[in-house]
Amino acid sequence: MDHLLTISDLTDEEIKQIFSLTNKLKEQNKQGIDHPVLAGQTLGMIFQKSSTRTRVSFETGMFQLGGHGLFLSSDDIQLGRGETISDTAKTLSRYVNGIMIRTYDHSDVEELAAAGSIPVINGLTDLLHPCQVLADLYTIQEKLGSLQDKKLTYIGDGNNMSHSLLIGATKVGMDISLAVPNAYRPDEDIVATADKQAEESGSQIEILTDPLQAAENADAVYTDVWASMGDEDEAEERMKAFKDYQVNEEVMNAAQNKAVFLHCLPAYRGKEVTAGVIDGPQSVVFDEAENRMHVQKAIMVELMADQAKKEDL
């Protein structure tokens, strides 16, 4: 594991190791036990897209691991003024020990990883959001006891969240059902990757247009905003397209009685989800948000820590 660009690059064993390490780090954190395995190290955090959870979880996580998270906005680095990604990667590789980037084009993340000599973590692109989905899968496992023989339903836009959920679910052997309008279906290359993984893991994939059909017997129900960052100019059009794709009490009633509700946040009550669902007893969205930090700490340890220090955890 040299980088984390997409979940499809991870082996089953690497995902299990991330989750096992997350358990350990989370428990130590709750007990107040220090784990400074990244003491003296710096994570360069490039934000071309702003975020509450991504910045705070990575920065706090690095602090708890004994290192430092260095916030770099487009205004702070020459990348925002036309310097090539390759030059930025080579320069930062001389200063910091790892890079997390939250940006638009997925190819930028790939180029950063190829040109640099340090680990790169995809904090989000318009194509994929792997750290979020690893935290989602960890949360489902934590709440339901296992990912095996479980069904995940996603309702909404065929965006980066649906892409990473397709890849993540089929990687770990979960069935996944999407309900998306035909005009907003997920990327066909992503679906092809998920189909290939499903053949290997035994997962079943459904891409439907009916939310109630998709939610039938689901163990976990997921949604995201209807207009992601960068889609704000389409907000009115998307409101019309997604008006029948709200996760509400009827949708949750179609799922299993003990189904959990997840959302990557921020959420807009009364739009993609009702207040009764997101603030109700089946919602695990804030446990999910907390787990972003614990899972990302495990990822940083796997990518950046010396083996001897990992063994001391």
Which residues are annotated binding-site positions for L-ornithine? 160, 224, 228-229
Catalytic residue among 3, 106, 224, 296: 224
Q: Catalytic: 185?
A: no
Distances (CA, A) of 258 to 136, 140, 159, 261, 278: 17, 12, 27, 10, 15
Catalytic residue among 41, 48, 64, 132: 132
Q: Catalytic: 31?
A: no
Structure tokens given for 243: 């008006």
The DSSP element (H or E) to which 221 belongs, if any, is strand 220-223
Catalytic residue among 3, 35, 55, 129: 129
Q: Is 65 exposed, middle or buried (0-12, 13-18, 19+ CB in 10 A)?
A: buried
Which residues contact residue 169 at a Cβ distance below 8 angstroms, ignoring those fewer than 6 apart? 137, 152, 175, 176, 194, 203
Q: Catalytic: 81?
A: no
Structure tokens given for 51: 């975020």
**DSSP assignment, residue 42?**
E
Number of H helices, E strands in the chain: 13, 9
Q: Catalytic: 204?
A: no
Structure tokens given for 30: 């709750």
Q: Is 232 exposed, middle or buried (0-12, 13-18, 19+ CB in 10 A)?
A: exposed
Annotated binding site: 51-54, 78, 102, 129-132, 160, 224, 228-229, 264-265, 292
Catalytic residue among 106, 238, 263, 292: 292
Report the alpha-carbon distance of residue 101 to residue 110 in Å, rounded.
11
List, as one string, the DSSP characters of 225-270.
-SS-TT-GGGHHHHHHHTTT--B-HHHHHHS-TT-EEEE-S---BT
Contact of 164 with 143, CB cutoff 8 Å: no
Annotated binding site for carbamoyl phosphate: 51-54, 78, 102, 129-132, 264-265, 292
Catalytic residue among 102, 106, 263, 294: 102
Largest CA distance in the chain: 55
Single out the residue of 158, 252, 263 nearest to residue 211, CA to CA: 252
Q: Catalytic: 129?
A: yes
Query: Residue 94, Cα to own-chain centre: how many angstroms?
Result: 28
Q: Catalytic: 102?
A: yes
So which residues are the catalytic ones? 102, 129, 132, 224, 264, 292
